[in-house]
Structure 1
Amino acid sequence: MDEILGTGTLFDERKNQLGEGPVWDDQTGRVYWVDILAPAVRWRHLTTGETGELDVGNHVGAILPTTSNDWIACLADGVYRLEMDSGATTLLSRYPHALGPLNGEAQMRANDAKVSPHGVVYTGTMPYDPDAHPGSAALYRWNSDTLETVFDGVTISNGIGWSPDGRLAYYVDTVTSRIDVSDVDASGHWSNRRPFAQISPDIGFPDGLAVDSEGYLWVALWSGHRVQRLSPDGSMAGHIQLPARQVTSCVFAGDDLRTLVITSSRVEDEDNPAAGATYSVPVDVPGLLASRAQL
């Protein structure tokens, strides 16, 4: 049953050109996210409302917390160490992009990324022009100093998540309008990729996602004004309404992980005053605390 579970209210009014990748940092009480095209890392304290912003100087697809004081930043050309206080970055591994620069301009960049329950970074890419270069991107596994291809033939690598027991991994290539699921073995490797849920373009296109403690998926739908909740069997289980059309990703935040924070974009929605802001909504079922990358 696809009932309305709630409506997102304004969490942060700053207008992101392409807000993405929200992260709850339980150590600071902040929600971080990126504006890929600004490029910027932004944050807001969940309870005090304190805000901040960091210019990283390169299109940033995602940032990820680590076991050290530094963060991982997935920039256009590779995986970097990010010093959050200063904004300094250090290259750790360069993406083996299928498309090299054209006339001095990059043709590909990082997109969504997540840390697995094993502490391993999964990071995906996409071309700046997906229509011209379908299948040119990939999903990679980064562990300490190497990038290993998990899936190639990808066009827009997007949402990544794991079931509460860590035995299933979910993955989105947006152009397929589908969420896929893979089995995860004891070492954390994926196998047996298969369709999990097909999303009708009539309600939007799957983007970033989060998984709650009951194993339900919360999937941001680009062009859909919503975050769609899916049951562990892939069926519709309600949705959150948003005033922004281009809904990009979400994360569970707060000490009880019962606040869903949702990012949006102004791309192809510039005339909508709600576009690009960040939203939140209380939820009944808590989420899962994200793992930290080994660094």
Structure 2
Amino acid sequence: MTMTPEPVAFPSTSLGEGPAWDAARQCLWFVDIKQSKLFRFDPASPALDEWDAPGEIGWALPANDGRLLCGLQGGLHWFDPATGEFAAWLAIESDLPGNRLNDACTDRSGAVWFGSMDNACAAETGSFYRLAGGQIEQAGPSKIAITNGPAIAPDGGTIYFTDTLAGKIWAATIGADGLPGALRPFVAFGGDMGHPDGSITDAAGNVWVGCYAGWAARCFNAAGEEIAKVDFPTANITKLAFGGPDLATLYATSAHQEMSAEERAAQPLAGALFAFRPEVGGHPLTTVRAR
């Protein structure tokens, strides 16, 4: 495998999102938000299993007790792969029924950072949150229509937040209290770059970003300078995740939502799960601290 993306699974996701590598099971979890599906991809098989979620599901992160913590439209749920059952846990923004949860990551302590957004992608009702020790607090920018990221540097010292519609990514230093400090500009998208979608950091601290409507994934160094661009055969690249036994494979989800019949015919791989091998690999994903 090279820097040229190859389709490795084709569930034809309407809005593929949230890839996360499960080191314990050596598999990749990802979702189709609009079809309320959770997928498990085993690259060794390569088998693709799926489950129906009880609502639009934005992400699923492995926890240290074998379950997955999932972000749904109504809030946080636990998923048990052994039984295939979802269990509601914590409601989020119950006063904003038009919102849903969209993207997430863990930090080195096992705390979970996630964002909410307007499900109609218009109203600036989204915020970022941090879950630690069973407690949730707002942490990061708010009044955003579509939150994305967040992503955390491998040394745990910097977090990146994305405002997709505004085309902006911010950075912030994480303090001794585990919370972000003042926001500073990191990258602004423009021209034919598309919209910044989900992001992840590599082992060197570079930030990989999926480019929705941009036909690419782009990589920026810690100074915000673009250092790599990988072209895809479909327009909507949504989120990336490092995986494989050596964390050297970069997986990317994609979407075909709202495409016309002509666009679908011209982009037959829209909705596929892709993979390629960048020059720099990833760093381990800390599991959610459930217990």
Q: In the aligned structure 1, how far is the partner of 2:46 from the partner of 2:131?
A: 33
Q: Is the aligned partner of 1:287 residue 2:288?
A: no
Aligned ranges 1:180-191 → 2 under 5 Å = 180-191=170-181
In structure 2, the residue matched to 1:130 is: 121
State the alpha-carbon separation in 2 of the partners of residues 156 and 136 from structure 1.
9
Q: Deviations over 1:217-256 (max 9, x none)?
A: 1100000111101011101111111111110000011111
Residue 96 of structure 1: aligned partner: 93
Hey, what does 2:143 align to over in structure 1? 153
Residue 183 of structure 2 corresponds to residue 193 of structure 1: yes
TM-score by length of 1: 0.92
Matched, 1:206 2:201: no
Structure 1: unaligned runs, 5 residues or longer: 101-106
Note the alpha carbon deviations across 1:240-279, whole angstroms, 9 max, x for none: 1111111000001111111010000011335121111110
Partners of 1:73 and 1:9 lie apart in 2 by: 27
Are the aligned partners of 2:250 and 2:275 in contact in 1 as well (CA < 8 Å)?
A: yes
Whether the 8 Å contact between 1:61 and 1:75 is mirrored in structure 2 is yes
Which amino acid letter does the alignment assign opposite residue 198 of structure 1? A
Count, aligned residues? 283
After TM superposition, give the deviation of residue 38 of structure 1 in Å.
Answer: 1.0
Separation in 2, partners of 1:187, 1:45: 37
Matches within 5 A, 1:1-295: 6-97=3-94, 99-100=96-97, 107-131=98-122, 133=123, 135-150=124-139, 151-270=141-260, 271=264, 272-295=267-290
Letter in 2 for 1:140: Y
Residue 14 of structure 1 aligns to which amino acid in structure 2?
Answer: P
AA paired with 2:104? A
Residue pair 2:93, 2:99 contacting (<8 A) in 1 also: no
CA change 1:30–1:51 in 2 (3 A) is same
User: How far has the Cα of 1:6 moved from its partner?
Assistant: 2.6
- In structure 2, distance between residues paired with 1:84 and 1:115: 20
Moved over 4 A (4+): none
CA distance in 2, matches of 1:50, 1:56: 19
Q: Any gaps of 5 or more consecutive residues in structure 2?
A: none
Alignment partners' CA distance in 1, 2:222 and 2:215: 23
Q: Is the 8 A contact 1:65 1:72 kept in 2?
A: yes
1:154 offset after TM fit, Å? 1.8
Relative to structure 2, which stretch is displaced further, 267-276 or 30-39? 267-276
Shift of 1:50: 1.8
Output the aligned Cα RMSD.
1.4
User: Does the CA-based 8 Å contact 1:139-1:154 persist in structure 2?
Assistant: no
Partner letter of residue 137 of structure 1? G
Aligned counterparts of 2:166 and 2:82: Cα–Cα separation in 1: 38
Q: Alignment identity in percent?
A: 26
Distance 1:180 1:75 in 2: 25
Query: Contact (CA 8 Å) 1:21, 1:112: kept in 2 or not?
Result: yes
Provide the TM-score with structure 2 as the length reference.
0.93
